[in-house]
Amino acid sequence: MPIGPSHSADGLFFLFDKGARPGRAALIDALGANPGISISHDPFRDDVPHVQSSSAANANRSGDWLEVLHWGMTFDCLGLAPGPAVAVPDVVQRFNLPADLETGSLDAVALVPGPHLADAANSLPVVRSMLDIAATLTDTLDAVQAICWSPAKSAIAPSFFSGAVRNWIDGGPFPALGLTGLSMSEAGTLETTGLNWFIGQELVLDYALSEDRVAATRLIVRLVHELVANGPVRDIAELQIDRDHKVILQPMPGGRIEVTLM
């Protein structure tokens, strides 16, 4: 049985101004831009006895979510108009968004893995499929203000999100900036947020590597790409980061990977 709007799984949230959320028809039209996507369950269309026996208002409410099929996997799109919006998740990290955009004042539509994917929601095939759907919706829906990725508590500008996702799907680097967050600790170490959703661990760069914020961010982007593709660090490992330097990755208690210059 498909999940309904009360579901609160981690996933992607499309933010809209009040009153601008898409309805069922607009979402179906937007998904039509990607031939690999289809609607596998439409409660408005499929639940005929319910629609016929309901008032017009209730019949409209029955279509406030859809089940989407892509690459053999199903995802639920929740919070469609005219039904209630999905709550906007907490946002700590912002990527390329206008400074005056208040995400908490917006309405959300969510894209989350279907129930049969619950045990594999953080696997790369599921994430890749969900992001491909999300990039299609970002490019084709009107008035998307931001995309939130709840595991990293991030909010991302639509063009930045779509470009990074399409680049990854086409063989480029994993979209680390947005699907993971970055923060500077009181000790001056740069740390990730949300990487643990993929591998069960977070990166912590030591002070020496964190001093140059631009270089540290580039290093983290590279490390996230490697770790998401290859899995968690179980033993001490070395990685060549340029012609003259290596870093040491050391797994620590509490799901941390300490990164130091060799």
Confidence of residue 244 (pLDDT cuts 50, 70, 90): confident
Q: Return the closest-CA partner of residue 220 out of 173, 253, 186, 188.
A: 173
What is the percentage of the chain residues whose pLDDT exceeds 70? 90
**Res. 226: pLDDT tops 60:** yes
46-60, 127-141, 212-226: lowest mean pLDDT where? Answer: 46-60
Q: Return the pLDDT at 50.
A: 37
Confidence of residue 61 (pLDDT cuts 50, 70, 90): very low
Q: Return the pLDDT at 217.
A: 95
41-55, 57-71, 102-116, 124-138: lowest mean pLDDT where? Answer: 41-55
Q: How far apart are CA 213 and CA 227, in angstroms?
A: 21
**Res. 53: pLDDT tops 70:** no
Q: Starting at the earlier edge strand, list the strands of the sheet with 37-41.
A: 37-41, 65-70, 73-78, 107-113, 12-16, 146-149, 154-156, 93-95
Better-scored residue on pLDDT, 118 or 32: 32
Q: How far apart are CA 49 and CA 65, in angstroms?
A: 18
Classify the C-alpha dihedral 74-80-83-88 as positive or negative: positive
- Stated pTM of the model: 0.89
Q: How far apart are CA 14 and CA 218, in angstroms?
A: 27
203 Rama class: left (phi>0) / alpha (psi -120 to 50) / beta: beta
How many CB atoms neighbour CB 142 within 10 A? 9
Q: Return the pLDDT at 227.
A: 96
Computed on alpha carbons and rounded to an integer, the radius of gyration of the chain in Å comes to 20
Q: Return the closest-CA partner of residue 176 out of 125, 214, 236, 227.
A: 227
**Tokens representing residue 76 in the block:** 């639920």
Reduced 3-state DSSP string for 145-175: CEEEEHHHCEEECHHHHHHHHHHHHCCCCCC
Confidence of residue 52 (pLDDT cuts 50, 70, 90): very low
Report how far apart, in Å, the C-alpha atoms of 35 and of each of 2, 31, 138 are. 23, 8, 16
Q: Return the pLDDT at 56.
A: 36
Burial of residue 6 (CB within 10 Å: 0-12, 13-18, 19+) is exposed
Q: How far apart are CA 232 and CA 257, in angstroms?
A: 9
Q: Return the closest-CA partner of residue 194 out of 167, 175, 208, 213.
A: 175
Q: Return the pLDDT at 63.
A: 59
Q: How far apart are CA 136 and CA 139, in angstroms?
A: 5
- The arithmetic mean of pLDDT across residues 206-231, rounded, is 95
Report how far apart, in Å, the C-alpha atoms of 57 and of each of 41, 48, 63, 150, 187 are. 20, 15, 11, 31, 56
Q: How far apart are CA 236 and CA 212, in angstroms?
A: 24
Task: List, for residues 79-94, the tens digit of each pLDDT value.
Answer: 999 999 999 999 999 9
